[in-house]
A and B are shown apart, each in its own frame.
Chain A
Amino acid sequence: MSISEPDLKNKGAIISAKLGTKQAIIDILEKAMDKGIFDAVLIPMRVPAGDSFAYVLIKDKSLLKEAFPLPPVMSVQGGHAVSSVTRLGKGKTKIAVVMRPCEIRATIELSKLGQTNLENITLISIDCPGVLPISDFLSDPKKSIKLFDDAVQKWDDKIMRPVCQICDKSSMITGDIHIGTLGAKKDSFFIISSSQKGNDVLDKLDIALKDSIDSWEAKVKIISEEKLKKRKKNLKELKSKIGGIDNLLDAFSQCINCHNCMRVCPICYCRLCYFDSDKVKHPSEDYLQRAESKGSIRFLPDTTLFQMGRMMHMSLSCVSCGACEDACPMSIPVAQIFSMVADDTQGLFDYVSGRSLDEPLPLVTYKEEELHEVEDAND
């Protein structure tokens, strides 16, 4: 593999968390703010009505006690949140961002796409148990929070979204610091650094990376292998169901063109989507002609073209975060379909979206000798 493993392999720090992981994370962040390591923290908080969570950029430390790392829903993909703060450049504020691994991976993709500036950002990820489908959560937020907590205790993903159930990267470290809860002893967790920035932060916090993380690694290995197996199986089944143009058309037959999926996708950053632009607005004669050639067309036509176009545009960077599926009012398994395609397209280039900042986006680079299988054999 072309990617070098972090040099701090097998080392981390065990943090004791008598008051729970959440509180311990908040304490560390507070200390880091006190020491001036960070000026602000971007982290989820419960909204005032208590029926959802939102990312809040916190500067006033007293707000930190209401922070809610690892909320039970992904109301906004964190990659979006980071991008909205740094899209127009870096600021003076040093910001710590606490997110799920797929959100960090989206952030890294966005950085490669020039939509996020990571210079003053420290990315902190946490082992992710998955999230609930937003509609399930909303049907009873209070109860859902409890159900979610129980599921996290048992690391049981049955009630999580389908894409979370097949996520083999739920502990993938791609940011600066990772918080590992898997394989840790009761009332403790691991802090792992994975970059120079991470090292510096932990150093200033007097957190020495001297403990073994073998038990975390072992546990992560088991879980991700299990999930990878399930991923391959489920996506293969999906492919047999929706493969072929007729089945694909059927899969999107309920699609109402609201483009929610595109709008909430962290990778779809275009200000004006091609499929909302003038390019797709045609004279009435064109529509009539198309109808005449078939006797009838769906109106608007090109629903599936939008989906395929979106795949072309972004599947190489899709992080399988599930935001699109959550936002689809027609309950189309958009994220599962996109994950299926993404695994194939990224596989073609041995690329994993968001794995590393140093890996170039496949379509902005090339090798002289590659992909001969797509060329005409006579050449």
Chain B
Amino acid sequence: MTKALKINKNSEQGVLELLKFLLESGKVKGVFTLKKISKDGAVAYSLITKSDELKDAVPLFPLMPVNAGKLLSRFTLRGETTEPVAAVVKPCELRAFMELVKREQGSLENIFVVSSTCGGVYPLKMAVDGSIDKNLSKYWDAVKKAEIPTNLRSACKGCGEFKPYAADMTVDLISKNDIDKQCLIFLNTEKGMEFAKGMKAEFLEKELDKGKLDKFRSKREAEKKKLFDEIETKMNGMDGLIEIFGKCIGCHGCMRVCPICYCKLCEFESPDCEYKPSNYEMELKRRGGLRVPPDTIYYQLGRLTHIGISCVGCGSCEDVCPVDIPLSIIFKKVGESVQKMFDYIPGKSIEEKIPLITFEKEEFAEVED
């Protein structure tokens, strides 16, 4: 039986209470969480070391300015943190971090992970026009009732992985009807229990209710199917790809914000993708014309083969795309199809090897001649 922590405050206040305790008791040196950082309410991830700075923190704010997995990787890229830091992140951000750690782009050592069952986040566009605050009460209402809030990003609407796999603590949110009065935090690991020790709160013997989550999952899966079916009609060969990606402006923002794309210099920005005039001359001879800069489709196909296996479906790519290409659905659909081949859920467990760096001797006979 797992233990749980009950705090008689609304969920966000409860989490803040926990973070405050962790900081003040010296169990952690810093807290990594979302925080309001400007007078007009911009929300960004912050590293907080003094507990009074927590007053502007909004750990459960439904926005993903940047995938936190990418940020935690940056934080621990040059070596593990020697001082413990608590990080409040969403399940897909945690999975992204795990994928990065597997790729030696960060370290879990001394990172204390607090996550939650996740109701999804709003698009960045709504952070820009300031409409998230106005939607907050509707959002939490939906989470309570295990519904999918309208206006959510499509990546979130169709996300079946809303329950964190490897968090030390999980905040109970989905389908908990008293989240505005009571905060329930499950302690999943030894470390979780260790860190909670000494906190002034009620300790319960309680398990996360799988049944209610399954119900929610089926709603999300139904939504996902809708999104996948819709995109499938468009992904019909080269013509379809050109229809979808024709308006791409080549900013590579999708790559830059993707937590899995960690390369120092992306292949598609490297000299490999710069061409000599003679290359152009050859292409012109063959095709009569060529879009420049070239490689719009090559870039997308390439990125799919590079990171599809580890795409956590976080939706960051789509969120930054200035021309609204439904990237997250495309990457998620193609990603899941290859992940399924290897029975792999990216970021689920740190022990599972990335499928492309391992093999079994007897497999995939069907792709051989």
State the A residues within 8 Å of B (CB): 40, 42, 47-49, 51-52, 54-60, 62-63, 75-76, 80-81, 84-93, 134-135, 138, 249-250, 253-254, 256-260, 263-264, 271-272, 276-278, 281-285, 287-288, 291-292, 295-300, 326-331
Asked whether B264 is an interface residue with its Cβ less than 8 Å from the other chain, the reply is yes
Asked whether B359 is an interface residue with its Cβ less than 8 Å from the other chain, the reply is no
A264 and B251 within 8 A (CB):
yes
Residues in A neighbouring B76, C-beta threshold 8 A: 284
Asked whether B47 is an interface residue with its Cβ less than 8 Å from the other chain, the reply is yes
Residues in A neighbouring B275, C-beta threshold 8 A: 84, 88
Interchain nearest-CB distance for B49 vs A (Å):
5
**Nearest 6 A/B pairs, CB to CB:** A91-B277, A60-B288, A47-B246, A52-B247, A295-B50, A253-B38
The residue that A56 contacts in the complex, of B40, B85, B277, B290, with Cβ under 8 A, is B290
Interchain nearest-CB distance for A310 vs B (Å):
15
Q: Which residue of A lies closest to B243 (CB)?
A: A49
Known: A63-B288, A84-B292, A256-B320. A91 touches B280 (CB 8 A): yes
Q: Report the interface size for chain B: residues with CB under 8 A from the other chain.
A: 77
A329 and B319 within 8 A (CB):
yes
A330 and B127 within 8 A (CB):
yes
**Residues of chain B from 255 to 286 with CB closer than 8 A to chain A in the complex:** 256-257, 264-265, 269-271, 274-278, 280-281, 284-285
Q: Which residue of B lies closest to A331 (CB)?
A: B128
How many angstroms from the CA of A90 to the CA of B128 in the assembled complex? Answer: 44
B257 and A287 within 8 A (CB):
no
Asked whether B82 is an interface residue with its Cβ less than 8 Å from the other chain, the reply is yes
Q: Which residue of B lies closest to A63 (CB)?
A: B289
B270 and A59 within 8 A (CB):
no
Asked whether B324 is an interface residue with its Cβ less than 8 Å from the other chain, the reply is yes
**Residues of chain B from 276 to 328 with CB closer than 8 A to chain A in the complex:** 276-278, 280-281, 284-285, 287-294, 319-324
B289 and A58 within 8 A (CB):
yes
How many angstroms from the CA of A277 to the CA of B244 in the assembled complex? Answer: 31
Known: A257-B66, A296-B47, A299-B75. A81 touches B292 (CB 8 A): yes
B35 and A48 within 8 A (CB):
no
Q: Which residue of B lies closest to A90 (CB)?
A: B277
Residues in B neighbouring A278, C-beta threshold 8 A: 264
Interchain nearest-CB distance for A276 vs B (Å):
8
**Can you list 21 residue pairs at the A/B interface with Cβ under 8 Å?**
A49-B247, A51-B246, A51-B247, A57-B289, A57-B290, A76-B293, A91-B278, A92-B277, A93-B277, A93-B284, A253-B37, A263-B253, A264-B249, A283-B78, A285-B81, A288-B81, A288-B85, A329-B253, A329-B319, A329-B321, A330-B128
How many angstroms from the CA of A47 to the CA of B44 in the assembled complex? Answer: 36
Residues in B neighbouring A40, C-beta threshold 8 A: 284
Interchain nearest-CB distance for B264 vs A (Å):
7
Known: A93-B277, A271-B270, A271-B271. A287 touches B47 (CB 8 A): yes
Asked whether B239 is an interface residue with its Cβ less than 8 Å from the other chain, the reply is yes
Asked whether B230 is an interface residue with its Cβ less than 8 Å from the other chain, the reply is no
Asked whether B74 is an interface residue with its Cβ less than 8 Å from the other chain, the reply is yes
Interchain nearest-CB distance for A59 vs B (Å):
4
**Residues of chain B from 21 to 47 with CB closer than 8 A to chain A in the complex:** 29-30, 32, 35, 37-40, 42, 44-47
Known: A288-B81, A296-B53. A256 touches B323 (CB 8 A): no
Q: Which residue of B lies closest to A61 (CB)?
A: B288
Interchain nearest-CB distance for A111 vs B (Å):
15
Asked whether B80 is an interface residue with its Cβ less than 8 Å from the other chain, the reply is yes
B291 and A56 within 8 A (CB):
yes
B324 and A48 within 8 A (CB):
no
Asked whether B193 is an interface residue with its Cβ less than 8 Å from the other chain, the reply is no
Residues in B neighbouring A56, C-beta threshold 8 A: 289-292
How many angstroms from the CA of A263 to the CA of B299 in the assembled complex? Answer: 15
Interchain nearest-CB distance for B61 vs A (Å):
14
How many angstroms from the CA of A287 to the CA of B320 in the assembled complex? Answer: 26
Asked whether B77 is an interface residue with its Cβ less than 8 Å from the other chain, the reply is yes
Interchain nearest-CB distance for A358 vs B (Å):
25
Asked whether B335 is an interface residue with its Cβ less than 8 Å from the other chain, the reply is no
Q: Which residue of B lies closest to A76 (CB)?
A: B249
Residues in B neighbouring A326, C-beta threshold 8 A: 249, 322
A49, A285, A299, most chain B CB atoms within 10 A: A299
Residues in B neighbouring A329, C-beta threshold 8 A: 124-125, 253, 319-322
Asked whether B118 is an interface residue with its Cβ less than 8 Å from the other chain, the reply is no
Q: Which residue of A lies closest to B265 (CB)?
A: A272
A86 and B277 within 8 A (CB):
yes
A54 and B246 within 8 A (CB):
yes
Q: Which residue of B lies closest to A286 (CB)?
A: B78
Residues in B neighbouring A254, C-beta threshold 8 A: 38, 42, 127-128
B292 and A48 within 8 A (CB):
no
Asked whether B252 is an interface residue with its Cβ less than 8 Å from the other chain, the reply is yes
How many angstroms from the CA of A330 to the CA of B126 in the assembled complex? Answer: 9
How many angstroms from the CA of A122 to the CA of B271 in the assembled complex? Answer: 26
Interface string of B40-78 (1 = CB under 8 A from A): 101011111110110000000000011000010011111
